[in-house]
Amino acid sequence: MSSASDAIDLSAVALFPLPGVVLFPRAVLPLHIFEDRYRAMTADVLSGNRQLAMALLRAGWEKSYYGKPVIEPVVCVGQILSHEKLPDGKYNFLLQGLVRARIVRELQTDRPYRVAELQRLEIVPAMEIDLEDQRRRLTEAFLSTPLGSSGAGRQFSQIVKSHLPTVDVADLVAFTFLEDAAVKQSVLAEIDVRTRVVRIVTELEAVARKSRPSMHAPSGGDPSVN
């Protein structure tokens, strides 16, 4: 995606597990940090490479939230674009997704937050020409349905006309418009690009069928808290 993604060191990455939040490459997620352990994580990350991995908590996480609840093995590594430290020690920051990765193993450290060795997902690529039909369907979803009348929909009407690769557009669509965290996690973990894009487009078309002119598109970019 970028030089930042090429320079990622995945040998020891801070994990930030949250319920219902799935980050995708290129997407930007606003976060508000208030727990002590994640304040420490943020301070450490900011003093280093500014990178951490968002992980989705599995169902039942409530029973052991302050311990080590089970998380999905596929994560998205992101980089903090900008941050604000508040007078009370809390943080606000914007995290941009960089790459998909899989947890190899969690590391034992003296830090209050979880750290893991990660490995990039080995992606099965697809040529842009092989995604032409999906690009057309994306265009129609925003131009020919009420979905395109929302603020996010109007923005994406322009994005699908741009030169941004279809695989990247699809990731941004999944982050912004798909509401079900399990579905988002499933497409995040899909290594076959064509299969992934088809799934995302199909899910978007389902959202479009249910949309009304007055709807506000579900936004993966709404502020999340730890």
Q: Where in the chain are the domains?
A: 3-122, 128-210
How many other C-beta atoms can be found within 10 angstroms of the C-beta atom of residue 220? 24
What is the model's pTM? 0.90
Is the confidence at residue 223, as pLDDT, over 50? no
User: Which has the higher per-residue pLDDT, 7 or 164?
Assistant: 164
Q: How far apart are CA 172 and CA 156, in angstroms?
A: 9
DSSP 133-152: HHHHHHHHHHHSSGGGGSHH
Asked whether the beta carbons of 211 and 203 are under 8 A apart, the reply is no
Is the confidence at residue 224, as pLDDT, over 70? no
Q: Does domain 3-122 have CATH number 3.40.640.10?
A: no
**71-120 residue pLDDT tens:** 999 999 999 999 999 999 999 999 999 999 999 999 999 999 999 999 99
- The pLDDT of residue 217 is 39
